[in-house]
Amino acid sequence: MKSPAHRTRDIERQAGYLKPEHCAPPPPRTGSDTMWFIRDGCGIVCGVITWILVFYAEFVVVFVMLLPAKNVAYSLINGALFNGLAFLALASHARAMCTDPGAVPKGNATKEFIESLQLKPGQVVYKCPKCCSIKPDRAHHCSVCKRCIKKMDHHCPWVNNCVGENNQKYFVLFTMYIALISFHALIMVAFHFVFCFEEDWSKCSSFSPPATVILLILLCFEGLLFLIFTAVMFGTQVHSICTDETGIEQLKKEERRWAKKSKWMNMKVVFGHPFSIAWLSPFATPDHGKADVYQYIV
Tens digits of per-residue pLDDT, 32-62? 456 799 999 999 999 999 999 999 999 999 9
User: Which of residues 284 and 32 earns the better pLDDT score?
Assistant: 284
Residue 185's pLDDT is 97
Q: Give the residues across from 285 on adjacent strands.
A: none
Whether residue 122 lies inside any domain: the answer is no
Whether residue 19 lies inside any domain: the answer is no
Residue 31's pLDDT is 43
pLDDT at 18 over 90: no
- Contact between 22 and 114 under an 8 Å Cβ cutoff? The reply is no
pLDDT at 4 over 60: no
Whether residue 7 lies inside any domain: the answer is no
3-state DSSP call for residue 167? coil
Whether residue 156 lies inside any domain: the answer is yes
Whether residue 28 lies inside any domain: the answer is no
Categorize the per-residue pLDDT at 172 as very low, low, confident or very high, splitting at 50, 70 and 90.
very high
34-48, 84-98, 113-127 — which is least confidently predicted?
Answer: 113-127
Residue-number span of the structural domain to which 263 is assigned: 41-102+151-280
Tens digits of per-residue pLDDT, 220-266? 999 999 999 999 999 999 999 999 999 888 888 777 777 788 899 99
- Contact between 267 and 237 under an 8 Å Cβ cutoff? The reply is no
Can you tell me the distance from the alpha carbon of 170 to that of 168, in angstroms, rounded to the nearest whole number? 5
Residue 118's pLDDT is 75
**Is 23 an annotated catalytic residue?**
no
Whether residue 25 lies inside any domain: the answer is no
Q: What is the mean pLDDT of residues 17-46?
A: 68
Question: Cα separations (Å) of 90 from 81, 120, 226, 254, 282?
Answer: 14, 46, 14, 34, 9
64-78, 98-112, 210-224, 270-284 — which is least confidently predicted?
Answer: 98-112
Domain count, the chain: 1
Can you tell me the distance from the alpha carbon of 60 to that of 211, in angstroms, rounded to the nearest whole number? 11
Task: Please tell me which residue in 148, 156, 196, 204 is annotated as part of the active site.
Answer: 156
pLDDT at 2 over 80: no
Dihedral pair phi/psi, residue 120, rounded to 5°: -95, 165
CA angle 245, 145, 50 (to 5 degrees): 85
Flag whether the pTM goes above 0.95.
no
Can you tell me the distance from the alpha carbon of 55 to that of 276, in angstroms, rounded to the nearest whole number? 30
Whether residue 118 lies inside any domain: the answer is no
Which DSSP helix (H) or strand (E) runs through 85? helix 72-98
pLDDT at 11 over 70: no
User: Which of residues 288 and 291 earns the better pLDDT score?
Assistant: 288
Provide the phi-psi class of 106: left if phi over 0, else alpha when psi is between -120 and 50, else beta: beta
CA 146 to the chain's CA centroid: 17
Whether residue 58 lies inside any domain: the answer is yes
20-24, 105-109, 176-180, 192-196 — which is least confidently predicted?
Answer: 20-24
Residue 74's pLDDT is 93
- Contact between 172 and 153 under an 8 Å Cβ cutoff? The reply is no
Orientation of helix 168-198 relative to helix 263-271, angle to 10°:
90
pLDDT at 7 over 60: no
